[in-house]
Amino acid sequence: MTSELDQILISSSEPDFDKKLEQLRISTLEASWFREDDSKRDKVRAIVEDVSKRGDEAVRKYTEEFDGVKLRPEEFRITEEDLKNAHKEIDKSLLTSIRQAIENVREYQKQIYIGNRKHPGIKYTPIERVGICVPGVSAPLPSTVIMTAVPAQVAGVKKIVVISPPRYNGTIHPVILAVCCELGITEVYRIGGAQAVAALAFGDKEAGRIKVDKIVGPGNTWVQMAKREVFGVVDIDSIAGPSEVLIVANDQAKPAWVAADMLSQAEHAPGSAVVFTDSKKLAEKVLGELKGQVEKLDRSKETIKCLKEFGLIVFFDNIDDVIRWANNFAMEHLEIQCGQESRKIAERIENAGALFIGDYSPVAVGDYWAGPSHTLPTGMTARFFSALTSNDFIKSTSIIEYDRKRLAESAEDIIRLATVEGLDAHAKSIEIRLKGQQD
Amino acid sequence: MTSELDQILISSSEPDFDKKLEQLRISTLEASWFREDDSKRDKVRAIVEDVSKRGDEAVRKYTEEFDGVKLRPEEFRITEEDLKNAHKEIDKSLLTSIRQAIENVREYQKQIYIGNRKHPGIKYTPIERVGICVPGVSAPLPSTVIMTAVPAQVAGVKKIVVISPPRYNGTIHPVILAVCCELGITEVYRIGGAQAVAALAFGDKEAGRIKVDKIVGPGNTWVQMAKREVFGVVDIDSIAGPSEVLIVANDQAKPAWVAADMLSQAEHAPGSAVVFTDSKKLAEKVLGELKGQVEKLDRSKETIKCLKEFGLIVFFDNIDDVIRWANNFAMEHLEIQCGQESRKIAERIENAGALFIGDYSPVAVGDYWAGPSHTLPTGMTARFFSALTSNDFIKSTSIIEYDRKRLAESAEDIIRLATVEGLDAHAKSIEIRLKGQQD
């Protein structure tokens, strides 16, 4: 079965290589929400509209329909007692690791925070209310809470609301609850999907109960499409698709490590794992390692399927082409395993969600630990979207303060510019101030 | 006719004042794109899809249909000669004013730019390609080019594409062309509406000819809805509705100036103009001034209609309520005309696109001159959106660089966190690096 993986190795010597790679880029990376059929979009739109009109009652209905869980609206919110119990019962060594992860994220997010910059022409204020989507059904993702809520807290967000879909028995995984409790987040709702996103955007029936100003965090296609649908009513972080890694490697890279990193992305299933190298020997060795390692994984079968669909090992003629195509692919995670050259190559990377430099920086370090958020742009959107940071939880207000003298000096120019645009009253609002005493 | 304006004055002593004001806020400000009927949204979606598939040919078709102008695709782009001629023929004093405005904007945008901040954990890079929407049919808005392109240039954007709808005779107003030329922008296309936005998002038939990574700038409902439709394929600045001003004034304000500023917003027709004050006397005087001044305007009739629909003068019991409601309204422009108190009140404003402090800072100063962009969040979105700045034309990449020692120190925690999330291969990607020599 692993022999089928041979197909993922391609070389720049193949005919029509550029066209082929461009095509592979699109099929491997293009955000899945955009490939959704219209009927799914219409369904999402209908859910969002229904929740905007009927609030709680609509959320209840869809929770029963999609999550198979019957909940009365007053049961959506997790009680303080349940949050505290989850925190009490969490494994102590796990709690220690979580606390250190929180500390690392907080420290990093503080360092890169720009909201405290002083300039007379601009003022930064935290967004007041933020909603966080935490996936929860397939595997509990407590790291999502850390990587989204801590940046928001660093920015000074006052109200954080967490939503996470209920499992078959109507609960949220206790590790997620424990992390919320650890962070002092008290508004946690066991609702998910498009209906929960809509509830965050419009509030439910008790007006404004969970309404927020910005929605962030990962989720399945329903969640992402709903985020897109409510964008403008609230802000959103990005529209995220499946996870991805691009590994730029030369002949100094360790094939076994490169293969292990491909697998750690492919196990998300779907998750895209791509290697670009200028060493034919490395390309072949990585493929060999991949075949060997994948069979030993718990989720071997799904991972092989995922690699065939979203995996690539590409051998280029030279490192310049590698870098050019790496910028073109604009991937979520970009590892550079090129020995002493790694940093120099990193400097030439313009489009990537996060850069992992050197042999000892696998993506997992960023997923859980180093500090930067693991909420990153996918599907080639690193051309314009960024990693989620504390700076995404503030907004700026421009400040303009003229006195009479300064206005008088500028009046002629401003009036000339307003006049060419045909905006009579704009010009008059300047003139009236300079006519002398008015009342 | 101006007596009809009496209805816009309301007082906190009215029954159900809070509810009424909340309702007025929604009817006065809610972004018009969101109130659009489904059929218009479906039309926009169909146009965007058509352009994404048929490129140039679809753009040509809709340009004929909506702008009433027959153009062959090779005529979309303005020739270099036309750009140069427009620049040559512009009124010299106007050019001088434009040059100083550009200089003011450039200086401000440089000062607040964060892209040159150095931190080992983050790297900022300019977005490569940006598209700018410039309205052009009702009145030429050369200031739009300045207020969007200059911030992009400060950030180091390499490729700037300007689109502007063709006038009846198929041309773009020469003042817009002259400003483009002055700024060294050579890619200017005479196309507009949803079809032009789609062409920017997907490129036209000659793949990538005008494709960009981010689309910014104002436009009518078609343009804004199309921006919303392509969000995710590209980034967009915001979804902007009609222009708005909120004037916070106390008894020290000059009624005539307050009224003039209301009119300079209402003349956009539609444009929302709201006054909040704790002085009953001022409220009444402003209303009187408004009636007097509006009749003298070129666009008197439209402005009166607009004031009736989107104008408000609200008298509150105290300044605390004024400030609370000002933050609640979260308006695009917020003037504070409260004498010596103005700055102190400004400090308490959390939600506003731009603040204009004191008697001599009417909105027109910001629209054309002071430096901050006039592209601002509207429709209560200042709760989460910001003024357009040079910082909107960069994206960040997180940087993670661990060595063997640091990875070894963190390994146990990272593996524990990966394991609780059921991500086997994530844990293995750490373990394999610490097992000793690998190849």
Domains of chain A, by residue range, sit at 2-32+241-370, 38-236, 404-438
pLDDT given at position A224: 92
Please indicate whether residue A333 is annotated as part of the active site: yes
pLDDT in tens, A151-181: 999 999 999 999 999 988 888 999 999 999 9
pLDDT given at position B438: 43
Beta-carbon separation of A362 and B416 below 8 A: no
**A363 contacts on B by Cβ (under 8 Å):** 426, 429
Beta-carbon separation of A384 and B260 below 8 A: no
Beta-carbon separation of B254 and A425 below 8 A: no
Beta-carbon separation of B260 and A143 below 8 A: no
How far does the CA of residue A393 sit from the closest CA of chain B (Å)? 8
pLDDT in tens, A53-90: 999 999 999 999 999 999 999 999 999 999 999 999 99
pLDDT given at position A206: 64
pLDDT confidence bin for A22, thresholds 50/70/90 = confident
Angle (CA) A313-A319-A321 rounded to 5° is: 75
B62 vs B37: which has the higher pLDDT: B62
- Mutation choice for B interface testing from A246, A356, A401 by most B CBs within 10 A: A401
pLDDT confidence bin for A2, thresholds 50/70/90 = confident
For chain B, what is the mean pLDDT? 92
For residue B202, the one-letter residue type is: F
Which of these is catalytic: A187, A333, A335, A374?
A333
**B214 contacts on A by Cβ (under 8 Å):** 384
Beta-carbon separation of A349 and B231 below 8 A: no
Hey, is the C-beta of A438 within 8 angstroms of any chain B C-beta? Answer: yes
Of A204-213, A224-233, A314-323, B314-323, give the lowest mean pLDDT range.
Answer: A204-213
pLDDT confidence bin for A240, thresholds 50/70/90 = confident
Distances (CA, A) of A12 to A21, A318, B82, B105: 9, 10, 43, 46
Residue B42, Cβ neighbours under 10 Å: how many? 12
C-alpha atoms less than 13 angstroms from C-alpha of A87 in its C-beta half-sphere: 15
Beta-carbon separation of B298 and A239 below 8 A: no
Collapsing DSSP to helix, strand or coil, B355 comes out as strand
A38-236, CATH topology level: Rossmann fold (3.40.50)
B161 vs B424: which has the higher pLDDT: B161
pLDDT in tens, B384-404: 999 999 999 999 999 999 999
Spell out the SS3 assignment of chain A: CHHHHHHHEEECCCCCHHHHHHHHHHHHHCCHHHHCCHHHHHHHHHHHHHHHHHCHHHHHHHHHHHHCCCCCHHHCECCHHHHHHHHHHCCHHHHHHHHHHHHHHHHHHHHHCCCCCCECCEEEEECCEEEEECCCCCCCCHHHHHHHHHHHHHHCCCEEEEECCCCCCCCCCHHHHHHHHHCCCCEEECCCHHHHHHHHHHCCCCCCCCCCCEEECCCCHHHHHHHHHHECCEEECCCCCCEEEEEEECCCCCHHHHHHHHHHHHCCCCEEEEEEECCHHHHHHHHHHHHHHHCCCCCHHHHHHHHHHHEEEEECCCHHHHHHHHHHHCCCEEEEECHHHHHHHHHCCCCCCEEEECCCCCHHHHHHCCCCCCCCCCCCHHHCCCCCCHHHHEEEEEEECCCHHHHHHHHHHHHHHHHHCCCHHHHHHHHHHHCCCCC
How far does the CA of residue A245 sit from the closest CA of chain B (Å)? 12
Segment A111-123 shows an average pLDDT of: 95
Bridge partner residues of B247 (DSSP): B275, B335
Share of chain B above pLDDT 90, in %: 77
pLDDT given at position B439: 40
**Look-up: residue for tokens 């078709």?**
B61
Cα distance between residue A235 and residue A399, in whole Å: 22
> Nearest residue on chain A to B235, judged by CA atoms?
A384
CB pairs under 8 A between A and B: 373
pLDDT in tens, A25-47: 887 776 555 556 678 888 999 99
- Mutation choice for A interface testing from B107, B246, B395 by most A CBs within 10 A: B395
| Helix, strand, coil percent values for chain B (each to nearest 5) | 50, 15, 35
- The answer, yes or no, to whether residue A438 has pLDDT greater than 60, is no
Share of chain A above pLDDT 90, in %: 77
Smallest Cβ distance to B400: which of A140, A370, A421?
A370
- The answer, yes or no, to whether residue A23 has pLDDT greater than 50, is yes
Beta-carbon separation of B351 and A125 below 8 A: yes
How far does the CA of residue A200 sit from the closest CA of chain B (Å)? 14
Task: Please report the residues numbered 374 through 393 in chain A whose beta carbons come closer than 8 angstroms to any beta carbon of chain B.
Answer: 376-377, 381-387, 389
Cα distance between residue A204 and residue A206, in whole Å: 6
Segment B220-243 shows an average pLDDT of: 91
- Mutation choice for A interface testing from B109, B400, B438 by most A CBs within 10 A: B400
Beta-carbon separation of A413 and B231 below 8 A: no
pLDDT given at position A423: 84
**A376 contacts on B by Cβ (under 8 Å):** 398
Beta-carbon separation of A427 and B297 below 8 A: no
pLDDT given at position B28: 79
pLDDT in tens, B123-169: 999 999 999 999 976 677 889 999 999 999 999 999 999 999 998 88
- The answer, yes or no, to whether residue A437 has pLDDT greater than 90, is no
ipTM here: 0.94
Cα distance between residue A274 and residue A293, in whole Å: 16
Collapsing DSSP to helix, strand or coil, B79 comes out as coil
| Contact status, residue A133 vs residue A223, Cβ threshold 8 Å | yes
Beta-carbon separation of B367 and A418 below 8 A: yes
B204 vs B359: which has the higher pLDDT: B359
Pairing between strand B394-400 and B122-126? antiparallel
**B229 contacts on A by Cβ (under 8 Å):** none
> Nearest residue on chain A to B266, judged by CA atoms?
A425
**A107 contacts on B by Cβ (under 8 Å):** none
**Look-up: residue for tokens 């969007």?**
B148
Among residues B336, B332, B346, the alpha carbon closest in space to that of B376 is found at B332
- The answer, yes or no, to whether residue B31 has pLDDT greater than 70, is no
Residue B307 burial class via C-beta count within 10 angstroms: exposed 0-12, middle 13-18, buried 19 and up: buried
How far does the CA of residue B161 sit from the closest CA of chain A (Å)? 16
- The answer, yes or no, to whether residue A149 has pLDDT greater than 70, is yes
B115 vs A422: which has the higher pLDDT: B115
**A106 contacts on B by Cβ (under 8 Å):** none
- The answer, yes or no, to whether residue B207 has pLDDT greater than 70, is no
- Mutation choice for B interface testing from A37, A376, A397, A435 by most B CBs within 10 A: A397
pLDDT confidence bin for B102, thresholds 50/70/90 = very high
Question: Same fold for the domain at A2-32+241-370 and the one at A38-236?
Answer: yes
Segment A101-115 shows an average pLDDT of: 97
**In this structure, CATH architecture of domain A2-32+241-370:** 3-Layer(aba) Sandwich (3.40)
| Residues of B with catalytic function | 332-333
pLDDT confidence bin for A439, thresholds 50/70/90 = very low
